[in-house]
């Protein structure tokens, strides 16, 4: 059985993997000869949202850990 802290950390790790995948997509897009600006903006927006979600999960994990001592 996992603790709420472990759950929050696992979710953050999952989000981090997603962020890394999106970063790779952005790198591939940047290497293309004909860069699609709209696609790049969409990917950057997704990266920012994933980063926000990661921060939320880490803050949640920290709060739970502090509350449990």
Which pLDDT belongs to residue 4? Answer: 93
pLDDT (tens digit per residue) in 21-67: 999 999 999 898 888 899 999 999 999 999 999 999 999 999 999 99
Contact 18, 47 (CB under 8 A): no
Distance CA 59, CA 15 (A): 14
CB-based burial label for 67 (10 Å; 0-12, 13-18, 19+)? exposed
Contact 12, 58 (CB under 8 A): yes
């Amino acid at each position: 059985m996992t603790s709420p802290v472990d759950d929050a950390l696992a979710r953050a790790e999952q989000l981090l993997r997603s962020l890394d995948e999106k970063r790779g997509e952005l790198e591939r897009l940047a290497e293309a000869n004909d860069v699609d600006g709209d696609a790049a903006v969409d990917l950057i927006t997704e990266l920012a949202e994933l980063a926000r979600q990661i921060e939320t999960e880490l803050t949640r994990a920290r709060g739970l850990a502090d509350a449990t001592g």
